[in-house]
Amino acid sequence: MATHQRSQDLVLLLLRVTFGASMIIGHGWPKFLRLTGGEEIRFMDFMGLGPEISLGLAVFAELICAALLILGLFTRLAAAPLVFTMLVAIFKAHWGDPFSDIEGALLYLVPFICLMIAGGGQYALDSRMQKLF
């Protein structure tokens, strides 16, 4: 039983680090540079919030929340904005586009949902903090 639990914890660590780092490198950091670059911001205007706020919310999810996932800190809570962002990408930003444009968001969505359900596992800061309190 302990070996099975350890395997699950390693899988959760692998999901957190792989998808968190990929999100930061491929999406969060480039969006952050666009947000802070001083040029005119062109981004999807989600729910009439304006492109700046919409981009800022995407940066929060794809940079800050992804970093929290890597650390396993507030894992379930950090995964929620990432799930929401991927749902917006699928159903708002890319809906009607070819599947190849939707596929990336879909492939991120599934592990983020899994992490939101399962949490970060034993190799997460959440687990270490839980032992302190």
Nearest in space to 78 (alpha carbons), one of 128, 125, 112, 32: 112
Supply angle C-alpha 6, 8, 12, rounded to 5: 115
Alpha-carbon gap, residue 86 to 111, rounded angstroms: 11
Instruction: Say what angle helices 51-59 and 75-88 make with each other, to 10 degrees.
Output: 140
Confidence (pLDDT) at 103 = 96
Q: For the chain, what is the domain count?
A: 1
pLDDT along the chain (133 residues), means of 10: 88 97 98 94 90 96 98 97 97 92 96 97 91 71
Alpha-carbon gap, residue 27 to 131, rounded angstroms: 34
Confidence (pLDDT) at 69 = 98
pTM of the entire predicted model:
0.92
Residue range(s) defining the domain that contains residue 125: 2-132
Supply angle C-alpha 27, 119, 67, rounded to 5: 30
